[in-house]
A and B are shown apart, each in its own frame.
Chain A
């Protein structure tokens, strides 16, 4: 077959050595294999059962202890010890408790590069696609097979072109825009597909905002979520990675399964209602809902700009938390944590009563951090609000932007955030 290729087709062609087209099943060489403390104990079991004796390339295999950070049971401490011992024995890269979320670390430290194929046993590994690469989530057994063989088989996905146009309204967060997209596409709307972001609004979209889009892509079922290479991306990468990688662009004649045009100028704050991330409505519709816990963190909402937004909204709303509201703050990584210490953000949030927890996944999936009490309503910057997601099936989780979450912390109810005019 001839004709132009999408970014996914190009990366999967380069890593498989075949002329890979959407629908083909190819065996690819992986550039990076990432496990977490939630997936690596099982991956080590599979590795041993497969007869694995060594890693295909220890420098390309990394484990991050992020889900049980810090461990709250002897059992989870054991998951950590096993992973540490395995990494030591085989020479793999280890990111210990407190370093942050696996894919956030990979991006920050230049461990993944444009043009690469990255697999991670964490569904939000797709986030790495903001760096112009193909990253996808797998389970522990695929991880183990890749640790041994350096390979993964993949069906080359059709791509959906997401075209961002228009100027975003002042104060509108990336989370609002990305939630609007998830609401439109639906929880299954991008299943087996790769998203490819394009459009005239991209140059003005900061890198951290792209991470929000690419992280939330898996809530639409996407296999990968890829941004083009541009100056914004290069500026982020500069000083973080030894090389610029191999940037990949789609061809003019590339075929897309579908095109979605998002006019940013028409968007307003959004919220995902319990219990599904695609249950998205304008924030107004939830205004007045009493909130008892607010969580700021995760790979979708735990970076420096998110906490600055939270602090700014809280300050303007009176500089205090509403009575009865617990504010839980979890930086996505140590880099984020240190910057927030240096610029005084964490001091001010703590002074208002915020609970600051260890960098990592935090309260997102009930594995570490603060678990909501019975019947509590939570406003969260995270990416999933499934029933019981945070460890209590009677809690109701609303997903929104850092600013909207901060406003809920200040008012004790869901309220529209104000922004300086």
Chain B
């Protein structure tokens, strides 16, 4: 099964930690990603959440999702209508949490992508290709390990465990 996504690039920088994606202190109010999405990336840019359109693609630099392992950091991005994060690299806990919730993580060179560029992403077992339809540039992405692709294609770890009852590699 192949995954195809198209959307507008929304840029953030390097080392965006999970606290910046959603502040721990906000979790005292709610764990509902539908509520928390109003505070998405507020420490980076308080106007960010209000300017997200469903289908936007988050584009980051290195080490996206470092810090706490809190899973709302992945679910809040999905709740904002963002189906994928493209980053030069991901922190390992965020990478797992993303796949487990069927938020697509794409590890690729993001340095030539600019705010608002129109992107198209194609991902399958062999890897992924990111085409920047604004600039005409294309870049290839690192392939997910087969088990992660299986989980992503199942629709996340919930349907995966329901289907298989256990993990298989």
The verdict on B52 contacting chain A, using a C-beta distance below 8 Å, is no
Roughly how many angstroms separate A387 CA and B31 CA in the complex, as a whole number?
A: 21
Return 12 A-B CB contacts under 8 Å, by A number: A25-B146, A25-B169, A42-B71, A50-B161, A121-B71, A123-B67, A142-B157, A149-B165, A153-B147, A153-B169, A384-B68, A389-B24
* Least distance between A166 CB and chain B CB atoms (Å): 30
Is the beta-carbon distance between B92 and A367 smaller than 8 angstroms?
A: no
Is the beta-carbon distance between A139 and B23 smaller than 8 angstroms?
A: no
Is the beta-carbon distance between B67 and A386 smaller than 8 angstroms?
A: yes
Is the beta-carbon distance between B93 and A123 smaller than 8 angstroms?
A: yes
Contacts between chains A and B (CB distance < 8 A), count: 145
Q: Which of the segments A72-80, A293-301, A308-316, A412-420 contacts the partner chain?
A: A72-80
Give the interface residue-count category, chain A.
35 or more
The verdict on B60 contacting chain A, using a C-beta distance below 8 Å, is no
Query: What residue of chain A has the Cβ atom nearest to residue B19's Cβ?
Result: A386
Roughly how many angstroms separate A76 CA and B97 CA in the complex, as a whole number?
A: 23
Is the beta-carbon distance between A139 and B69 smaller than 8 angstroms?
A: yes
Is the beta-carbon distance between B166 and A151 smaller than 8 angstroms?
A: yes
The verdict on B84 contacting chain A, using a C-beta distance below 8 Å, is no
The verdict on A192 contacting chain B, using a C-beta distance below 8 Å, is yes
Is the beta-carbon distance between A141 and B168 smaller than 8 angstroms?
A: no
Q: 1/0 contact trace for B7-33 toward A, CB 8 Å? A: 000000001010110011101111100
Give the interface residue-count category, chain B.
35 or more
Is the beta-carbon distance between B96 and A142 smaller than 8 angstroms?
A: yes
The verdict on B129 contacting chain A, using a C-beta distance below 8 Å, is no
* Least distance between A194 CB and chain B CB atoms (Å): 11
Given contacts A50-B162, A191-B91, contact A38 B66 (CB under 8 A): no
Query: What residue of chain B has the Cβ atom nearest to residue A16's Cβ?
Result: B169
Chain B residues in 8 Å Cβ range of A393: 23, 42-43
Given contacts A46-B158, A187-B15, A191-B91, contact A137 B69 (CB under 8 A): yes
Chain A residues in 8 Å Cβ range of B92: 191-192, 221, 223
Query: What residue of chain A has the Cβ atom nearest to residue B44's Cβ?
Result: A387
Query: What residue of chain B has the Cβ atom nearest to residue A68's Cβ?
Result: B28
Interface of A (DSSP majority class):
loop
Binding site for B on A (CB under 8 A): 25-27, 38-39, 41-42, 46, 49-51, 67-68, 72-73, 75-76, 79, 121-123, 137-142, 145, 148-149, 151-153, 155, 187-188, 191-192, 221, 223, 276, 365-367, 371, 384, 386-389, 391, 393
Given contacts A39-B71, A187-B15, A191-B91, contact A152 B167 (CB under 8 A): yes
Which of A27, A155, A367 is the one whose CB lies under 8 Å from B24? A367
Roughly how many angstroms separate A38 CA and B26 CA in the complex, as a whole number?
A: 12
Which of B67, B145, B169 is the one whose CB lies under 8 Å from A384? B67
Chain A residues in 8 Å Cβ range of B62: 188
Is the beta-carbon distance between B15 and A188 smaller than 8 angstroms?
A: yes
* Least distance between B24 CB and chain A CB atoms (Å): 4
Roughly how many angstroms separate A149 CA and B160 CA in the complex, as a whole number?
A: 12
Roughly how many angstroms separate A387 CA and B24 CA in the complex, as a whole number?
A: 11
